[in-house]
Amino acid sequence: MQDFKLSEHDENVSVSFIRDTETLSRLCSEWLSKEAIAVDTEFDRTNTYFHNLALIQINDGQQIWFIDPLELKDVSPLKSVFESETLVKIFHSCGEDLEALFNKYHFKFNQIFDTQIAAAFADMGPSLGYLRLVELISGVSLDKEHTKTDWMQRPLQQEQLIYAAQDVQFLLPSYYMLRDKMLELGTFEYVIQDVDSMFEAVSAPENYDSYYLRMKGIFRLDAKQTNRLKHVASWREQLARLKNIPKTFIFRDPQLLEICQTPNPKMSDLLAAGCHRASIRRYGAELLATITQADLVNPELWPEPVKAFHKIPKAKELSRQLKALANQVADKNDIPQEVLTNKRLIEYYIMRNMKLDVRPNRFWNDWRKTLLSEAFEAVQF
């Protein structure tokens, strides 16, 4: 794959591959003296649990650089770049990028500025896509037809390389506009903190025993069934990681819920629940054995059945009160209401204060606590 010039949209930007660690190390030293660089990744996750990282793109303001992880195995100089507390790394919708880079290289991240999060603070709308962001800020309409392309093929096609370069081409001008807006509003550090919260969720040690709390419909289960689900959800999560396959390739959530509600499940019940024959053949015996082991656990150690939120006493009224207070705080601080809180965060706060089992929500972070704690603590539970 050859270096090239990106000449679309009245710009002429050099795009070069970094082909050796020595060159990468030199460039990383140069980048550390800058205010900001733009970063993106391309990956495939079609048939795997973990991302197959296919490309890393960096725009340093002078040119765009590509790193091919399939070719360049030692990218350790990037560690200092991502860990730097002075160099801002700009991403757009960075969740999967951070996860892909962390799982492959175990990088830690500081000073990550996500333009999607910043755009929400700037009242440009929640979950704003990159194409729309570029259109609003730079007045450029980009082509997104290669979103679902095969990034693991080699050589990459020229159209793919152009697409990948454009993913970082307009991040820097977007950052400068959003940075100035965030500094004006006093919310720049809030953007950084929200990305920190995302990375904490990616990098925190896994608590496999809590994975059942992520599943929909668990409030239909009694204590014994909930205990079963706790064990089989943990088993499936660890198996998917070990084999590097999607969890749905083992069994789907609704299938596990149905089997956990079956009094004495057998192989025929797996088929009746809609499980794929190949999954039954490969994993059915292990699933049933996991349920058998779960049933041997002392009932005193079973988790409490999970309550549907709307059935929690006072939940609806508490939610209404907290949302009203949060909206007042948001308006007072010139923060869009949906950025400060959402339904899931308020439900988390209520369930945590009632000491009920609830999936962690890392967006109950320092800046939100600072703005909301005083108002929320006045509410009687």
pLDDT digits (tens, 9 = 90+) for 328-349: 999 999 999 999 999 999 999 9
Q: Do domains 4-203 and 309-377 have the same CATH topology?
A: no
Whole-number Å distance between alpha carbons of 316 and 178 = 36
Q: What is the pLDDT of residues 218-268, one digit of tens each?
A: 999 999 999 999 999 999 999 999 999 999 999 999 999 999 999 999 999
Q: What is the largest CA-CA distance in the chain?
A: 70
Whole-number Å distance between alpha carbons of 289 and 261 = 15
Residue 207 clears pLDDT 70, i.e. is over it? yes
What letter does residue 306 receive in the DSSP assignment? P
- The mean predicted confidence, pLDDT, of the chain is 95
CA 140 and chain centroid, separation: 27
**Which residues touch 350 (CB under 8 Å, ≥6 apart)?**
309, 312, 315, 318, 319, 322, 381
* Residue 145 pLDDT level (bands cut at 50, 70, 90): low
Phi, psi angles (nearest 5°) of residue 84: -60, 135
Domain coordinates in residue numbering, the chain? 4-203, 208-301, 309-377
Instruction: Read off the pTM.
Output: 0.94
* Residue 206 pLDDT level (bands cut at 50, 70, 90): confident
Q: What is the pLDDT of residues 148-199, one digit of tens each?
A: 789 999 999 999 999 999 999 999 999 999 999 999 999 999 999 999 999 9
Residue 146 clears pLDDT 70, i.e. is over it? no
Burial of 320 (0-12, 13-18, 19+ CB in 10 A): exposed
Q: Are strands 36-44 and 52-59 parallel, antiparallel or unpaired?
A: antiparallel
Q: So what's the pLDDT on residue 12?
A: 84
Q: Which fold has domain 309-377?
A: DNA polymerase; domain 1 (1.10.150)
Tell me the CATH architecture of domain 208-301: Orthogonal Bundle (1.10)
Tell me the CATH architecture of domain 4-203: 2-Layer Sandwich (3.30)
Q: So what's the pLDDT on residue 5?
A: 86
